């Protein structure tokens, strides 16, 4: 079995660790967002549930906890979409020409970048969950240690599959671009509809019918479903809405993310097979 993709993986992780400013910002920014935005909005939106009778068996969840799962998803989205910028720098610095001319299969370049991006997402997710618990996010409330460990693995599974899909997409876009500005413009166009047509920071129940329909096909919505299922539970009440997730709902969300990742790998593979760097 060929293991060349580990070289790409290791090189990208070394770059991530040595570029300390980017490392610190990538870890602190989502934590600050949760602390500042979450703390400000939680006191307001949590009042929507005050005084209401909870459905039998449903746990009451604050907006800070509700939003915490969304911050995990949003951070993963941003990290994954910008993950392919490494390839763009390699193109501009002439390193990609050497990689494409080497005996290494081109799909190993995609896999190496994908795995390094997933590792970065895992690190950020663990930092966000740890920081969230410090500021009052009630993840894993009432869970036993074994249930908590299983829930963390479930979150990482969803994050990993989601991250791979957008890393493959980002890699394909990066190989088609010539400047970081062009890549950033495309990513911005993608980020806005994915962000606003999702359930990351607010419920989708009141969306207009068309936007609500689009949200059902939004990978970010499926990631948030999985994260909330594992960190909060399958039956909870938040900001005036009763949420119930069944095992089949979560399986559908996971399969949707897996299908998206497979489709994006095929797109990236096709782009790399046709790539010519001079």
DSSP code per residue over 257-269: HHHHHHHHHHHHH
Question: Residues 253-271, buried b or exposed e (16+ Cβ, 10 A)?
Answer: bbebbeebbeebbeebbeb
pLDDT higher than 70, residue 49: no
Instruction: Give the mean pLDDT of 164-176.
Output: 89
Neighbour tally for 35: CB within 10 Å: 16
pLDDT band at 163 (very low <50, low <70, confident <90, very high): very high
CB 229 within 8 A of CB 199: no
pLDDT higher than 90, residue 251: yes
Between CA 185 and CA 272 the distance in angstroms is 21
User: What's the pLDDT score for residue 2?
Assistant: 64
pLDDT band at 1 (very low <50, low <70, confident <90, very high): very low
Q: What is the pTM of this model?
A: 0.89
Q: Which range has the worst mean pLDDT, 155-164, 168-177, 213-222, 254-263?
A: 168-177
pLDDT higher than 60, residue 3: yes
Neighbour tally for 208: CB within 10 Å: 8
- Residue 144 in 3-state DSSP? coil
What is the domain range of residue 122?
Answer: 5-274
pLDDT band at 226 (very low <50, low <70, confident <90, very high): very high
pLDDT higher than 90, residue 249: yes
Lay out the sheet containing 241-244: strands in order across.
59-61, 235-238, 241-244
CB 136 within 8 A of CB 64: yes
Q: Nearest CA to 66 among 224, 191, 219, 214?
A: 224
Higher-confidence residue: 66 or 162? 162
**The token pair that represents 24 in the structure block:** 């610190």
Which range, 51-60, 99-108, 267-276, is most confident?
A: 267-276
pLDDT higher than 80, residue 172: yes
Between CA 254 and CA 226 the distance in angstroms is 7
User: What's the pLDDT score for residue 231?
Assistant: 95
Between CA 176 and CA 25 the distance in angstroms is 27
pLDDT higher than 80, residue 235: yes
pLDDT digits (tens, 9 = 90+) for 83-96: 877 777 777 777 77
User: What's the pLDDT score for residue 142?
Assistant: 86
Q: Which range has the worst mean pLDDT, 31-45, 132-146, 211-225, 244-258?
A: 31-45
Between CA 111 and CA 167 the distance in angstroms is 9
Higher-confidence residue: 190 or 229? 229
> What total of structural domains would you count in the chain?
1
**The token pair that represents 49 in the structure block:** 């549930």
Query: Which residues lie across from 59 on neighbouring strands?
Result: 236
* pLDDT, the chain, mean: 83
Q: Which residue has the tokens 């070289």?
A: 7
- Residue 207 in 3-state DSSP? coil
**Percent of the chain residues topping a pLDDT of 70:** 87
Between CA 126 and CA 130 the distance in angstroms is 6
Instruction: Give the mean pLDDT of 4-26.
Output: 77
């Amino acid at each position: 079995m060929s293991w060349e993709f580990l070289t790409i993986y290791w090189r990208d992780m070394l770059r991530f660790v040595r570029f300390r400013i980017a490392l610190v910002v990538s870890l602190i920014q989502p934590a600050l967002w949760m602390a500042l935005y979450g703390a400000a909005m939680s006191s307001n939106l949590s009042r929507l549930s005050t005084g209401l009778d909870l459905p039998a068996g449903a746990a009451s969840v604050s907006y800070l906890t509700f939003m915490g799962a969304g911050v995990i998803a949003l951070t993963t989205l941003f990290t994954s979409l910008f993950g392919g910028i490494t390839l763009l720098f390699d193109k501009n610095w002439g390193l990609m020409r050497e990689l494409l001319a080497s005996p290494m299969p081109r799909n190993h370049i995609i896999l190496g970048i994908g795995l390094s991006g997933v590792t970065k997402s895992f690190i950020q997710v663990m930092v966000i969950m740890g920081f969230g618990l410090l500021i009052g996010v009630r993840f894993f409330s009432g869970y036993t240690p074994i249930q908590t460990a299983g829930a963390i693995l479930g979150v990482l599974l969803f994050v990993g599959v989601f991250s791979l899909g957008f890393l493959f997409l980002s890699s394909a876009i990066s190989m088609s671009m010539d400047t970081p500005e062009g890549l950033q413009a495309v990513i911005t166009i993608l980020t806005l509809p994915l962000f606003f047509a999702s359930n990351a920071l607010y419920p989708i129940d009141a969306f207009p019918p068309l936007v609500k329909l689009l949200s059902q096909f939004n990978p970010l919505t499926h990631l948030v479903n999985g994260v909330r299922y594992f960190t909060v539970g399958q039956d909870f009440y938040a900001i005036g809405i009763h949420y119930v997730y069944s095992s089949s709902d979560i399986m559908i969300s996971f399969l949707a993310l897996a299908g998206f990742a497979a489709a994006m790998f095929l797109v990236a593979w096709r782009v790399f097979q046709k790539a010519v760097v001079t």
